[in-house]
């Protein structure tokens, strides 16, 4: 097999697992959004999700202070807005207004859901032991919402450097993994 060496800086593009999400946070009545693709499932129930949030982001400060957020999962029709939220900072602008997204109050946390996203996971920070070293927050999902009208959500997946994939064909196999 002809293999070529891959720059270590490109490894993440092969392993980027789940969909790109929008993380919403809020403090003192002001909500913010950031685009996030470095996340991983850690437990089935209660669902635990690990997320890397860089301390260079405004969202880092909000998440650290409030210990609450919402993971919103967008579909491909929102791709431009999703990238926009990843290229701007809530320290300077109100992203809900600038990108025309609609905040909806959550049931259990102070951060809002995004109405346009087909799934919304209300989260509380469960573990901060790796925040100082990696910006890695362990989040517990305390409430989850799904838009019944969206049957096969075409989620967005990050490949790096402005390249994205959208979810496509599904296959069903016998698997022992629940
Ligand atoms: C596709 C994409 C994925 C991103 N994934 C992450 C991520 O996993 N963690 C992170 O800290 N920043 C990530 N970012 C960068 C933040 O979204 C970006 O720094 C944003 O401006 C932060 O906004 P804020 O300052 O309002 O919090 C990503 C950006 C894009 C476009």
Q: What is the CATH number for 70? A: 2.30.110.10
Q: Is pLDDT of 153 > 90?
A: yes
Q: Is pLDDT of 11 > 90?
A: no
Least confident stretch, 6-10, 49-53, 56-60: 6-10
pLDDT band per the 50, 70, 90 thresholds, residue 117:
very high
Average pLDDT on 104-131 reads: 97
Protein residues with CB under 6 Å of any ligand 1 atom: 20, 32, 34-38, 52-54, 57-59, 83, 86, 88-91, 158
Any domain includes 172: no
Q: Is pLDDT of 12 > 70?
A: yes
Average pLDDT on 13-21 reads: 82
Instruction: For ligand 1, atom 31, name the residue with the nearest CA.
Output: 86
Q: Is pLDDT of 74 > 90?
A: yes
Model pTM above 0.85 = yes
Q: Is pLDDT of 65 > 90?
A: yes
Map residue 17 onto helix, strand or coil: coil
| Beta partners for residue 156, in sequence order | 166
pLDDT band per the 50, 70, 90 thresholds, residue 5:
confident
Any domain includes 122: yes
Cα-Cα-Cα-Cα torsion 158, 166, 49, 173, nearest 10 degrees, comes to: -130
Residue-by-residue DSSP string for 130-153: EHHHH-EEEEEEEEEEE-TT-SS-
Distance CA(87)–CA(52), nearest Å, equals 17
To test the pocket of ligand 1, the residue of 19, 37, 64 to mutate (highest count of ligand atoms within 8 Å of its CB) is 37
Instruction: For ligand 1, atom 29, name the residue with the nearest CA.
Output: 86
Instruction: For ligand 1, atom 10, name the residue with the nearest CA.
Output: 53
Average pLDDT on 77-89 reads: 98
**What percent of the chain has pLDDT above 70?**
99
Map residue 118 onto helix, strand or coil: coil
Any domain includes 129: yes
Determine contact, residues 25/32, Cβ cutoff 8 Å: yes
pLDDT band per the 50, 70, 90 thresholds, residue 138:
very high
Least confident stretch, 21-30, 59-68, 89-98, 143-152: 143-152
Any domain includes 96: yes
Any domain includes 7: no
Any domain includes 2: no
Any domain includes 6: no
pLDDT band per the 50, 70, 90 thresholds, residue 17:
low
Give the DSSP H or E segment for 126.
Answer: strand 119-130
Distance CA(23)–CA(54), nearest Å, equals 13
Any domain includes 175: no
Q: How far is the CA of 52 from the centre of ligand 1 (A)?
A: 10
In which domain, by residue range, is 140 found?
16-166
The total number of structural domains in the chain stands at 1
């Amino acid at each position: 097999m002809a293999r070529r060496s891959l720059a270590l800086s490109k490894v993440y593009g092969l392993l980027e697992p789940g969909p790109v999400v929008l993380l919403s946070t809020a403090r003192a009545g002001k909500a913010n959004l950031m685009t996030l693709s470095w996340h991983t499932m850690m437990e089935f129930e209660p669902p635990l999700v690990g997320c890397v949030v860089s301390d260079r982001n405004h969202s880092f400060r909000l998440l650290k202070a409030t210990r609450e957020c919402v993971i919103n999962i967008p579909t491909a029709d929102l791709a431009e807005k999703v990238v926009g939220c990843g290229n701007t900072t809530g320290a300077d602008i109100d992203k809900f207004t600038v990108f025309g997204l609609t905040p909806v109050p959550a049931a259990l946390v102070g951060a809002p859901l995004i109405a346009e996203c087909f799934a919304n996971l209300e989260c509380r920070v469960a573990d901060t032991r790796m925040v100082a070293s990696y910006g890695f927050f362990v989040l517990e999902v305390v409430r989850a919402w799904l838009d019944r009208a969206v049957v096969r959500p075409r989620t967005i997946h990050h490949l790096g450097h402005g390249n994205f994939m959208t979810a496509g064909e599904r296959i069903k196999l016998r698997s022992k993994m629940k």
